[in-house]
Amino acid sequence: MECSKEKIILNIGGVRYETYSSTLQTFPGTKLCSLTDPRAPSIYDYDPTTREFFFDRSAEIFSCVLNYYRTKHFHCPIDTCRAVLEEELAFWEIGEAQLAPCCWLRLNNKVVQTEELNIWDENEQNDDQCLIVQAERRDSSWRTRWQPKIWSMFEKPFSSLSAKCLAFVSLLFIVGIVIIFCEETKAQFEFFTANFTSVGSSGVSHNDHEPYYHQAAYLLHLELVCVLWFTFEFSVRFCCCPDKKSFFQNPLNVVDFLSLFPVYIELFVAGQIQRTPSLGLWLGFVRIIYLLKLLKVSKLIETPLILKVLCYTLKSILREICILLMILAFETLFFGSLFFYGELLGSHPSYTGELHLTDILVCFWWALITLTTVGYGDIIPLTTFGQVTAALAAIFGLLTVIIPIPIFLVKFKGYYDIAVFKQKLERNKKR
């Protein structure tokens, strides 16, 4: 107790500071903590008369350093030079990552709202908080004991060796069902081509020559094996999920649920497909959802920082994106209508060819393609008025697309700086 109440006097550049020994021991391994060692007077500049340590350093910054030992929050003066601060922190053996987020952003000339600093922690802790609440239930049933472990094994591939093996098996099934999906499209394309040729060549499709839709049985069996695994995986994850409502709010979980149906439906209506081959094509169309399961591969690797930043940036400018889409929709309707009537009224009476447009909806398509500067060339203006309208649409489209880009870049850079700082701070804490 007496040791913790022992006072240490520091003379920093002529300014005298007095604090407790226990305060300097807050962060072991730093220079100030070493002053509490009995051998410190023989190592540092110590005056036995005044019983104080002398350091010829900046007193202004040291006051922030000493306050950091007292409060565990490091803030720096507003007019601090970044280079000077780094030099002083290096001398006192304090990492730059200990700097408070508000001061770090100010030193880097970043203007960010306070709530944006905490967005990363809030999203990362949501899942863990659910597990903590689940684990703190009073009953000691097997479900309470094993649910967090099973959930982590299926949701966090790097949590254990069994989770890694399970994730690898799941990845093999996902790749397998994508390959099967690609193979199944061959039969669907052959049926469509034969049907189109039969009807197109004679104008009428005869029953005795009607194309036959046939899918290889082994492909359906392999697909069934993959879907059975997905059914087992989805059922376990759903039963062990801490929050069922949040579970279905995740788009990837909705994809997993919908991907279970195509093969079961095809097995149930196998006879109907032979009589109605188009049903097989529709089921093939629904199977596109298998490709979305490839997004789960992102769980097997650490999500790149830039992808996280991109997601948060898009969320933060969602309002601006909606306004941009509204402006684009208005321009599409306006220039499409202008183009439609301009082409009809401006056509020369002697013109005997066919116009590219058939109705105003086609003109809306043309306007959207022109505003987005894609310009397929499937519809072109034939009149002077139409050409002027097309030129104006292209110019307005450029302005509509270019103006929001600086807003996106500023937001993206701000979030990226915050993310880098948070990442650096976490690494420093782990050390």
CB contact at 8 A, 261 and 285: no
Query: Longest Cα pair distance anywhere in the chain, in angstroms?
Result: 115
- Residue 74: C-alpha distances to residues 56, 92, 109, 235 (Å): 21, 13, 18, 48
Angle at 93 between CA 92 and CA 98, to 5 degrees: 100
Note every long-range contact of 132-137, with CB atoms under 8 Å and residues 24 or more positions apart, other chains counting.
133/242, 134/242
- Residue 405: C-alpha distances to residues 150, 171, 398 (Å): 44, 37, 11
pLDDT value of position 206: 44
Residues forming a β-bridge with 290? none
Q: What is the mean pLDDT of each run of 10 residues along the chain (431 residues)?
A: 69 87 84 85 86 86 84 76 79 74 63 51 49 46 72 80 86 89 78 58 47 70 90 88 81 86 81 68 82 77 69 81 90 92 72 67 91 85 87 91 83 76 66 58
pLDDT value of position 4: 53
- Six token digits for residue 210: 């009607």
CATH of 155-302, one of 1.20.120, 3.90.320, 3.30.70, 3.20.20: 1.20.120
pLDDT value of position 425: 64
CA distance 317 to 145: 42
The count of C-alpha atoms lying within 13 angstroms of the C-alpha of 73, restricted to the half-sphere facing its C-beta, is: 6
Helix, strand, coil percentages, rounded to 5, for the chain: 70, 5, 25
- Residue 52: C-alpha distances to residues 19, 27, 47, 92, 330 (Å): 11, 21, 6, 17, 75
pLDDT value of position 332: 93
Amino acid identity, residue 2?
Answer: E
CATH of 303-431, one of 3.30.230.10, 3.30.1490.190, 1.10.287.70, 3.40.1280.10: 1.10.287.70
pLDDT value of position 135: 44
CB contact at 8 A, 151 and 242: yes
pTM of the predicted model as reported, rounded to 2 decimal places: 0.56
Class of domain 7-109: alpha beta
pLDDT value of position 131: 44
């994508």: which residue's tokens?
178
Please enumerate in sequence order all residues whose Cβ is within 8 A of that of 392, keeping only pairs 6 or more positions apart, or say none. 335
Integer-rounded Cα radius of gyration of the chain = 34
Amino acid identity, residue 76?
Answer: C
| Domain locations along the chain | 7-109, 155-302, 303-431
